[in-house]
Amino acid sequence: MMRLSLPLKGLATRLTPTLSLSLLLASIPLGLPNRVQAEQVNCSSQWAEDAISYLEAEVGFTPPFTFCFEVDSGETEYFYITADERDLRMSSNHLIVAECDRDCKDVDLHVYDNRGRLIGSDTSSGSYAEVPWENIYVGEEVLVEINMYNCEAEFCGVVIGTLPTR
């Protein structure tokens, strides 16, 4: 099961009150920000359900792992995803996908390896973005960056999912 970690430095994400988080302090090598390990994120608000529905329509099914965030227009948010054995049983290749709620018109996604090198990005203008994460291994961790544009509300909801691919 993919694990989600949130960085401590510069964390502006307002997590919904329904989230259930198991926290563990750790650090990332090579000067990347410290983080809080989040074992479980509950996506049960109405905006999250809407964004998950939009994501299902885009990819054809519900991703096995989803994480939800509230992001202000023009903000950039960061978090980490770590792969484990269950992920590799599904596939060693995954897509990291993002979809925003009905108040959002554009979300960009950038994925970096644990040394800060860009693995891939999707900067197309739309509410859906995807980046391939290939040849993953147990314990591999990536830094995911979300850029929110054209949010027409106080905040916009973004759902991040991981999809096994061939």
pLDDT at 118: 97
Nearest residue to 145 via CA among 94, 52, 83, 75: 75
pLDDT at 16: 30
pLDDT at 55 over 50: yes
CATH numbers and ranges of domains, the chain: 3-165 (2.60.120.380)
pTM score: 0.75
d(C-alpha 98, C-alpha 57), whole Å: 13
Mean pLDDT value across residues 2-21: 38
* Stretch (H or E) spanning 70: strand 65-71
